[in-house]
Amino acid sequence: MSVFFYFMYPRESIRDGYYTAEAKYFNEDGWKEFVTIFVSGGKITTVEYNAKNSSGFLRSWDMDYMRVMNESVGTYPNAYTRIYAADLLAKQDSEKIEAVPGATRSYHKFKRLAAAVMGKIEEGDTSVAFVEFPHDE
């Protein structure tokens, strides 16, 4: 049974609440990506995708990084994280998310994190899922 089925047909067995998955470790640049999903009435109602450093500062707020990334690849975290989150919210299925040009590494991370969250939702387990990423990802 796919995750899509669960959200297309709200079920009482799906517990409302916040579900989160995050990278197990900070990456070589000092960021740890995470996805938090809120489920209400058996449907995904909000999605947050971002990364934080060890002090809790969010990457989407890093203006210097935004300028450099936007100039080099044409997108930046505050843009593509919102696009990925909105895509998941609209489609209610982590397998149907589409990549944003210039943010493909984050696309693969988002898909893995979202799939981990979906697993937690299916289990009704609101504890944080930790996802390990290889160094090159």
Which CATH number covers residue 86?
3.90.1010.20
pLDDT tens figures, 36-52: 999 999 899 999 999 99
As a whole number of angstroms, the distance between CA 32 and CA 101 comes to 21
pLDDT tens figures, 77-93: 889 999 999 999 999 99
Report if residue 1 sits inside a domain.
Answer: no
**Per-residue confidence (pLDDT) for residue 11, from 0 to 100:** 54
Domain hosting residue 32, numbered range: 13-131
As a whole number of angstroms, the distance between CA 137 and CA 33 comes to 12
Q: How big is the CA angle at 89 (ends 31 and 116), to the nearest 5 degrees?
A: 50
**Total number of domains constituting the chain:** 1
Residue 56 pLDDT > 70:
yes
Report if residue 86 sits inside a domain.
Answer: yes
